[in-house]
């Protein structure tokens, strides 16, 4: 099992698809799976039920993953300490992006509930999560200035190393 963690916009979904292809492993996109399970978008889930409801769904889903897969987690998976136990069942790769990279990638994105709003609040959330990502990570891959092929190659090299 390979879990990709990192802030929204760090490239988890894109990298997971390519990594799964190269390693011939199934890919699980947690946000998509939760949307399918709930029958609504993450944005709608947040609007109707709030962040804590979504985090509970995320934890429940994480605990059910059994197949050896590449898992693209939600950016906030590290917000709950209890998620560290299921994450520890595989290799955790932290896709580390700078604040500047995140802003550049997400500036036009209106689909992410926690990206809307106050810039100061977004940056604080970003900074607060950095240590949590580092704590759960077996490997950290800096993604700034790299394309997905370079990132995937680096992950494969590190995991085989």
Do the annotations mark residue 55 as ligand-binding?
yes
List 139's β-bridge partners, or say none.
93
Helix-strand-coil split of the chain, %, nearest 5 = 55, 10, 30
| pLDDT value at residue 115 | 74
Do the annotations mark residue 14 as ligand-binding?
yes
Which CATH fold would you assign to the domain 2-155? Answer: Rossmann fold (3.40.50)
CA-closest candidate to residue 112, choices 10, 2, 5? 10
Do the annotations mark residue 112 as ligand-binding?
yes
Do the annotations mark residue 50 as ligand-binding?
no
Tokens of 82: 């209890």
pLDDT digits (tens, 9 = 90+) for 13-70: 999 999 999 999 999 999 999 999 999 998 899 899 998 999 999 999 999 998 899 9
Higher pLDDT, 119 or 25: 25
Higher pLDDT, 19 or 113: 19
pTM of the model: 0.92
Residue-range domain boundaries for the chain: 2-155
Do the annotations mark residue 153 as ligand-binding?
no
Do the annotations mark residue 145 as ligand-binding?
no
Do the annotations mark residue 20 as ligand-binding?
no
The answer, yes or no, to whether residue 158 has pLDDT greater than 90, is: yes
Do the annotations mark residue 12 as ligand-binding?
yes
Apex 130 CA angle, 71 and 138, nearest 5: 50
Do the annotations mark residue 88 as ligand-binding?
no
């Amino acid at each position: 099992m390979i879990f990709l963690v990192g802030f929204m916009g760090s490239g988890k979904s894109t990298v997971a698809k390519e990594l799964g292809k190269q390693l011939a492993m199934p890919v699980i996109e947690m946000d998509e799976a939760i949307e399918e399970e709930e029958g609504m978008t993450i944005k709608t889930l947040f609007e109707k039920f709030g962040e804590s409801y979504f985090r509970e769904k995320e934890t429940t889903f994480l605990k059910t993953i059994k197949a050896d897969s590449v898992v693209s987690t939600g950016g906030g998976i590290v917000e709950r300490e209890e998620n560290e136990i299921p994450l520890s069942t595989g290799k955790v790769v932290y896709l580390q992006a700078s604040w500047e990279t995140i802003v550049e990638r997400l500036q036009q994105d209106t689909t992410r509930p926690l990206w809307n709003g106050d810039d100061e609040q977004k940056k604080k959330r970003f900074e607060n999560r950095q240590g949590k990502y580092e704590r759960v990570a077996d490997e950290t891959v800096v993604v700034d200035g790299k394309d997905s092929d370079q990132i995937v190659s680096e992950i494969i090299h590190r995991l085989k190393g």
